[in-house]
Structure 1
Amino acid sequence: MSTSELVTRAAEQVSTLMRDELALARAEMVAKGRRAGAGGGLFGGAAVLSLYGLGLLLALAVVLLDLVWPLWLAVLVVLVLVFAVAAVLALLGRRRLRAATPLVPQEAVSGVAADVDAVKTAVREGRSS
């Protein structure tokens, strides 16, 4: 096999390898995007629940607690409970978002680095023989 054929073959293999690595990077980014979307959805859910919770739970709970406690204490207790639930949801959403980062396709990057090292090694070994 001639040198030009070897170079042509190597170029074709590198091209195929790059396409495969890009496909891996794309798949990894899609998976991370889904996780980030889930975390963002939880944050959105926390916001919606906070708003509706403040409107509905406050009204009902304050009325019920007002039967037993002074009005100011009933309002305070209900507010603290609603914000505590919202804080828990926000923390869960933040955890999901952190699990989706960094947004760099790490598997693809390490695969490309390994491929580059393999090509460098093959070139060195080819020169020495």
Structure 2
Amino acid sequence: MTHTAPPGAPGPEERAATTPLGELLSDVSRDLSQLFRQEVTLAKAELTASAKQAGKGAGMFGGAGLTAVFALLFLSIAAWWGLGYLIGNAWSGLVIGVVYAVVAAVLALRGRRELQQIQGAPQTVETVKEVPEALKPTTGRKP
């Protein structure tokens, strides 16, 4: 963004030579403050748009998950009904229930194993432990 001076206004070199340093610093401070406010406004607008888009995407995933649950329900009913012709409805219901129990157990065990492997933030913990030592004044003496 370039600024053009109004006709008859002094150029930048002439203004720098004739304006007191305090006024120049005040102008720079004001311009930096305005630039910062504009950047914050731009960041807010961008983050708002991103959040709206993420919300729409999350809603679509939620809808897909719900639809998948219904699909699984109806496929389970179809499998129960189909097996019912071969081995009877009670036994086919038991078979489908056992299959789901096995799947749930496998998923629970794998999830538990994954949670047990979480280490947190070990590097951050080590770095934070070093901060108090780094803030201590050094006098040139060795401990």
For the superposition of Structure 1 and Structure 2, which TM-score range results when normalised by the shorter chain? 0.3 to 0.5
Q: Scaled by the length of structure 1, what TM-score is found? A: 0.46
Q: Scaled by the length of structure 2, what TM-score is found? A: 0.42
Higher RCO, 1 vs 2 (CA within 8 Å, ≥6 residues apart): 1
